[in-house]
Amino acid sequence: MPSILLLSDPVLEKLRISGGATLHGELNASGAKNSAVLMFAASLLSKEPVTISNVPHLRDITNMIELLGSLGVEVVVDDSMNIEIHANTISSFVAEYDIVKTMRASFLVLGPMLAHYGKAIVSLPGGCAIGTRPVDQHLKGLRALGTKIEMKDGYVHASVENKLKGTHFIFDFSTVGGTEHLMMAAVLAEGQTVHENCAMEPEITDLAEFLNKMGAKVRGQGTNTIIIDGVEEMHGCHHRVIADRVEVATYLIAAAATGGKVKVKGAQPEHLGAVLAKLQEAGAEINICDEGIELDMKNKRPKAVDLVTAPYPGFPTDMQAQMMALNAVAEGTGTIQENIFENRFMHVSELLRMGANIKLDGNTAIVTGVEKLKAAPIMATDLRASISLVIAGLVAEGDTLVDRIYHMDRGYEQVEEKLRMLGADIERVPG
């Protein structure tokens, strides 16, 4: 495996942030890891090589490459992180717990292996500890397609005689992972499959476009009804991953919290409507240009905003923690209601250690802004919480040490380098 994929030991590192800098400058948006990992799984549907470009260099990406390698799949990576996947070398149909536990998306190899090869044994998933995230809708949908499923010792044993059969399936609730998973499984099924109550996230549309380039017949992506006409086989293709909307929003929010001005090149504003509206409400001037998105706070302190997380196109749960860090130093009081995950306020205790004024009432956080946070040793608990603590460190007085940044490395590419480009005083230090 090329050295570009070797990441340093996550347990031994922290981030040191000296607060007080106002962020200014330009950045290039990274590719969306939540799209790329899906395409790695979908590559198992094709006997021909597929090439995926604009892939970020992240721990979740290396974990997914490791998983494909454990299945015998050949993965070639160049210096620009273009990934070529040769799924026809597959020699195992067992996705082991030790790899699948590291990220939930790895569970989604189940459907493609099942659809293409008629069998798969996959461990139940792991990932961030942000609440119950069951896979019952995944399994219910696979059964509707004709899959025989048995649960043994924490593994899903799935098989099908001949081919999966098209079906009409209505999700009990909108689920991003379930929509993605069953869409991949259905592309090689006999006949037509109709999925209703689907999630509508941009990463689902990106995946559908990738599948269609491979020869699938998927339509309706981006709406709550997706129709898939099964095809006999899938072929190779090349696809460029969309920009990571969560990463883009994170840097815009960080700039707003510090009163700064940044441009994120390659950002896709059509995917960020709810976030941009809240940033404007906080006092930011937003400029959409051909190059991407520019935010200018004109050295002003942000104003507190109220928000409620909701499925796309509502305000994303993945950006709630970052906005809480902004509210923590904003003028006024803002309420944040978390409706997606029941455990996604774990960053609150760390923000309180830094002097934030936050009160919790069930799934609602009431945040009254203070003029300055105070530096403190703090600890990340999950991916998005980790970056919210980094934003807090940027606006705190003194040197903040953020521990357990391996969470952050799962989803943010070269975060300290990018923030230094914007003028932040930040470095990775031994733990």
pLDDT tens digits for range 163-198: 999 999 999 999 999 999 999 999 999 999 999 999
Rg (CA), the chain: 22
> Residue 11: its pLDDT value, please?
53
Mean pLDDT of the chain: 94
Stretch 8-17: mean pLDDT: 74
- Could you tell me the pLDDT band of residue 131, with boundaries at 50, 70 and 90? very low
Give the pLDDT score at 349: 95
Which one has a higher pLDDT value, 154 or 257? 257
- At 128, the pLDDT band (50, 70, 90 cuts) reads very low
Answer yes or no: are the C-beta atoms of 147 and 182 closer than 8 Å: no
> In the sheet that 148-152 helps form, which strands lie side by side, from edge to edge?
94-95, 119-123, 155-159, 148-152
The reported pLDDT for the residue numbered 370 is 98
Q: What is the mean pLDDT of residues 366-382?
A: 95
What does the pLDDT read at residue 127? 47
- Tell whether the model's pLDDT for residue 419 goes beyond 50: yes
pLDDT score of 102: 81
**Residue 379 pLDDT grade (very low, low, confident, very high; cuts 50, 70, 90):** very high
Catalytic residues, by residue number, are 128
What DSSP string describes 141-184? HHHHTT-EEEEETTEEEEE-SSS-B--EEE-SS--HHHHHHHHH
Stretch 389-394: mean pLDDT: 97
